[in-house]
DNA sequence: GCCAACGTTGGC
DNA sequence: GCCAACGTTGGC
């Protein structure tokens, strides 16, 4: 079992949206490193920290779970989609996704400021690295536990 | 709205 | 393969 952090802009898709739909195909990732995490490194049942980016304040707002296996992101073949990729062929899909299942909201938002303040306990946390823009990030078991502990402080 | 960081594109 | 131009991310 591994752990991940997924970023989402709440104006695009928030934790409330995930709670409402229950399970969401994580479409639109168009970065190769993030794609590799989704396609190769994730496993059914992995834990997910749900992070609101471009939010005020930015922070972790909920928990979710990876559901099932990787499969082609259908939006890459949809000319009407903003995620359309005319260079991707159905017989060799470039972009893969996973379904993400709602688990629960956190009792409160654990803000980016708070995560920075806990940097000594978190160690090398990819979200806190300068200039990081990846929307899918690996989280260690120790970091996962540290963040859950923060929730109850 | 600004801008730093950084991935991608494309000319050469 | 280099690298300048460009586009995007995302905090502020």
Residue numbers of the domain that contains A18: 3-151
**Burial tier of A11 (Cβ tally within 10 Å: 0-12, 13-18, 19+):** exposed
Give tens-digit pLDDT for A23-69.
999 999 999 999 999 999 999 999 999 999 999 999 999 999 999 99
- Taking residue A25's Cβ as centre, other Cβ atoms within 10 Å add up to 16
Q: Smallest Cα–C1' distance to nucleotide B6: which residue has it?
A: A131
How far, in Å, are A10, A28, A32, A115 from residue A36 at the CA level? 24, 14, 6, 26
Band of pLDDT at residue A73, cut at 50, 70 and 90:
very high
Residue–nucleotide distance: A19 CA to B7 C1' (Å): 32
Residue–nucleotide distance: A110 CA to C6 C1' (Å): 35
The CATH number that applies at residue A130 is 3.10.590.10
Does nucleic acid strand C have an atom less than 7 angstroms from the CB of A53?
A: yes
The total number of structural domains in chain A stands at 1
**A87 or A60: which leads in pLDDT:** A60
Residue–nucleotide distance: A53 CA to C3 C1' (Å): 31
Instruction: Say how far apart CA A62 and CA A22 lie, in whole Å.
Output: 13
A149 has a pLDDT exceeding 90: yes
pTM over 0.85: yes
**Where on strand C do bases come within 7 A of a protein Cβ?**
8-12
Give tens-digit pLDDT for A104-148.
999 999 999 999 999 999 999 999 998 889 999 999 999 999 999
- Taking residue A85's Cβ as centre, other Cβ atoms within 10 Å add up to 16
Instruction: Say how far apart CA A7 and CA A51 lie, in whole Å.
Output: 5
């Amino acid at each position: 079992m591994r752990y991940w952090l997924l970023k989402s802009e709440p104006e695009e898709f928030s934790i409330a949206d995930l709670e409402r739909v229950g399970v969401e195909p994580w479409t639109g990732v168009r970065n190769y490193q993030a794609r590799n995490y989704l396609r190769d490194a994730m496993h059914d049942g992995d834990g997910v920290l749900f992070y609101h980016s471009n939010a005020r304040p930015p922070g972790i707002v909920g928990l979710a779970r990876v559901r099932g296996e990787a499969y082609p992101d259908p939006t890459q073949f949809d000319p009407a989609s903003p995620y359309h990729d005319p260079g991707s062929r159905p017989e060799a899909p470039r972009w893969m996704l996973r379904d993400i299942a709602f688990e629960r909201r956190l009792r409160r938002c654990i803000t980016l400021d708070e995560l920075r303040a806990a940097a000594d306990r978190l160690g090398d946390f990819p979200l806190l690295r300068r200039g990081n823009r990846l929307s899918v990030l690996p989280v260690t078991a120790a970091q996962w536990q540290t963040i859950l502990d923060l929730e109850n402080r």
